[in-house]
Amino acid sequence: MRQRQCATFDTSMPRMLFDGNLAQCFMVKLGNHARNTAMRNISTGVLYIFIIHQDQTGNRFFKWPEQVANPSWVDPAPSSVSVQAFIGLNGQLQALMPGTWNEVQP
Domains of the chain, residue spans = 7-95
Instruction: Note the pTM of the prediction, 2 decimals.
Output: 0.89
**Residue 105 pLDDT greater than 60, yes or no:** no
Q: Residue 64, SS3?
A: coil
Q: Residue 89, SS3?
A: strand
Report the distance separating Cα 18 and Cα 59, nearest Å.
22
Report the distance separating Cα 72 and Cα 86, nearest Å.
11
Question: pLDDT by residue (tens digit) across 2-59?
Answer: 456 799 998 888 899 999 999 999 999 999 999 999 999 999 999 999 999 999 999 9
- Confidence class of residue 69 from pLDDT cuts 50, 70 and 90? very high
